[in-house]
Amino acid sequence: MGIDVKEKTAHNASVGADAGQSIQKDSGNSIPASEAKGNGEMENLEEMYRKMQRMADPRYLHTLTMTELFQTSYKSRPPIIENLLHSGAYLLAGAPKIGKSFLVAQIAYHVSTGQDLWGCKVHQGTVLYLALEDDFQRIQSRMFMMYGVNDTPNLHFATAAGKIGNGLDEQLENFMREHPDTKLIIIDTMQKIREVGGEAYSYASDYEIVGKLKQFADKHCICVLTVHHTRKQPAGDAFEMISGTTGLLGCADGSLLMQKKKRTALEATIDVVGRDQQDQILYLKKDPETQIWNLERMETEPHKEPPDPVLEAVARMVNASQPEWTGSPSELAAAV
CA distances from residue 286 to 78, 94, 118, 163, 296 in whole angstroms, order as listed: 29, 15, 13, 33, 10
Cα 313 from Cα 319, distance rounded (Å): 11
pLDDT at 130: 97
CA distances from residue 254 to 12, 74, 145, 231, 276 in whole angstroms, order as listed: 85, 21, 29, 19, 8
pLDDT at 236: 52
* Tens digits of residue pLDDT in 162-209: 998 889 999 999 999 999 999 999 999 888 988 765 555 566 677 788
Cα 29 from Cα 143, distance rounded (Å): 76
pLDDT at 137: 97
Locate the domains of the chain by residue range.
23-73, 88-298
* Tens digits of residue pLDDT in 9-38: 444 444 444 444 444 444 445 555 556 666
In sign, the C-alpha dihedral spanning 179, 185, 188, 191 is positive
pLDDT at 179: 98
Architecture of domain 88-298: 3-Layer(aba) Sandwich (3.40)
pLDDT at 240: 53
- Asked if 131 and 191 touch (Cβ cutoff 8 Å), the reply is no
pLDDT at 34: 59
- Residue 166 phi, psi (nearest 5): -150, 60
Exposure letters 227-245 (e unless 16+ CB within 10 A, then b): bbbbeeeeeeebbebbbbb
- Asked if 220 and 189 touch (Cβ cutoff 8 Å), the reply is no
Q: DSSP per residue over 124-161, as a string?
A: --EEEEEETTS-HHHHHHHHHHHHTT---TTEEEES--
CA atoms within 13 A on the CB side of 279: 5
Cα 224 from Cα 214, distance rounded (Å): 7
pTM of the model: 0.69
pLDDT at 6: 46
Burial of 93 from C-beta contacts in 10 A (0-12 / 13-18 / 19+): buried
Which residues does the chain have with pLDDT short of 70?
1-38, 40, 196-204, 231-250, 301-308, 310, 336
pLDDT at 329: 74
Cα 123 from Cα 226, distance rounded (Å): 19
Strand, helix or coil for residue 48: helix
pLDDT at 5: 45
